[in-house]
A = this chain, B = another copy of it.
Amino acid sequence: MSQVLGDRQTLRRKLHFFYAPIEAQLADVERTLTEEIGSDYPAIDELLKHGFSLGGKRLRPALLLLSGKAVGSVSREHQVLAAVVEMIHTATLVHDDVLDEATLRRYRQTVNARWSNESSVLLGDYLFSHAFYLASTLDTTYGCRVIGRATNIVCEGELRQVSSRGNFDLSEEAYLSIIEAKTGELCACCCQLGAHYAGADAALVAAMARFGRDLGVAFQIADDLLDVLGDEPTTGKSLGTDLEKQKMTLPLIRLLDQVSPAERAELVEVLAGPAARAREVLSEWFARTDALSYAREVAQSLARRGVEELASLARNDATSALEAVAEFVVSRRL
């Protein structure tokens, strides 16, 4: 437990620059989440609260609030929608853990490991529907519409990813398009909502959405790199699941693009085999090619392109935090 707290504090400290400009509003979001997620039935209440504790960084609520503060000021709508996007994100995490058969997330047992896959599926559905309900308590349908559309694109992206498993011919373009839908879209949605509810005009709302999308894609590439490289004690979640699920990510795509046809055939055979062996063989290949550094550079260049979208804004602590987070997501070790 103290290990968990310790690691959470480390994470929080590392991200302090990011949360500082919106600390009070984030605390309100936290209160909203605690109030909203619960049940009169004790067994269900325990499941909901455990499931929700697996979210964590509050990156998406922070993006939404910071985008509001970067272009204007933060209102009640921002706080409601910040809770909404965190619920949506947690719902996708809970369902991802079923898909990945993961047993560990943020140093805690996943819902599927502690309860069952069935409970995980239903918990995710509960969180999705609660998020949509909460969004519908605002005065207009704008929030519902943007969130409904983004969530739908996220789901389509995930479906495409599942249907691409074991497809070792997946192109870099198709990979980027999938993660843009799967991860980029919800981050774009956060920044779009933040800017819209702070009164930004259509052009600025669109620019903020592009910032969010680039940031999200960069974040996902970095996350995929962690899955190839990282170790569980550091990241606090089940790793190596991409290899086990024969999910192609950027370093692998780059590697296969560069080798000879014979080497490619050999590598594909390894990738189609046991993950432990694949990891061993890959680490040798990664040591003598640019696959890892290439993936890192793609992520960094997307993060830079995203930051350029902020150029027209007057500088304040929120714009600095957004720039800093763009740097953080491509360099993070946690």
Residues of A within 8 A of B (CB): 39, 41, 43-44, 47, 91-92, 95, 98-99, 116-119, 121-126, 128-130, 132-141, 144-145, 147-149, 151-152, 154-156, 158-160, 162-163
**8 closest A-B pairs by CB:** A133-B148, A136-B144, A129-B151, A126-B155, A136-B145, A132-B148, A129-B152, A132-B132
A-B contact pairs, 14 of them (CB 8 A): A41-B160, A98-B117, A117-B117, A125-B151, A126-B159, A130-B152, A132-B132, A132-B148, A133-B151, A136-B141, A137-B141, A137-B145, A138-B141, A141-B144
A212 to B99, CA, bound (A): 35
Which chain B residues border A130 with CB–CB below 8 Å? 148, 152
Assuming A136-B141, A152-B126, is B121 touching A95 (CB within 8 A)? yes
Copies in the complex: 2
A187 to B82, CA, bound (A): 31
Of chain B, the residue at the smallest CB distance from A119 is B162
Question: What is the CB-to-nearest-CB distance from A76 to chain B, in angstroms, rounded to a whole number?
Answer: 15
Of chain B, the residue at the smallest CB distance from A245 is B118
Of chain B, the residue at the smallest CB distance from A91 is B125
Q: Check B124–A156 contact: CB distance below 8 A.
A: no
Which chain B residues border A138 with CB–CB below 8 Å? 141
Q: Check A44–B144 contact: CB distance below 8 A.
A: no
Q: Check A122–B44 contact: CB distance below 8 A.
A: no
Q: Check B137–A140 contact: CB distance below 8 A.
A: no
Q: Check B126–A128 contact: CB distance below 8 A.
A: no
Q: Check B158–A129 contact: CB distance below 8 A.
A: no
A21 to B94, CA, bound (A): 43
A159 to B138, CA, bound (A): 27
A43 to B162, CA, bound (A): 11
Q: Check A145–B162 contact: CB distance below 8 A.
A: no
A129 to B156, CA, bound (A): 10
Q: Check B121–A160 contact: CB distance below 8 A.
A: no
Question: What is the CB-to-nearest-CB distance from A257 to chain B, in angstroms, rounded to a whole number?
Answer: 22
Q: Check B151–A132 contact: CB distance below 8 A.
A: yes
A130 to B132, CA, bound (A): 11
Q: Check B135–A144 contact: CB distance below 8 A.
A: yes
Q: Check B129–A162 contact: CB distance below 8 A.
A: no
Q: Check B162–A133 contact: CB distance below 8 A.
A: no
A293 to B156, CA, bound (A): 46
Most buried by B among A119, A121, A160: A121
Q: Check A44–B156 contact: CB distance below 8 A.
A: yes
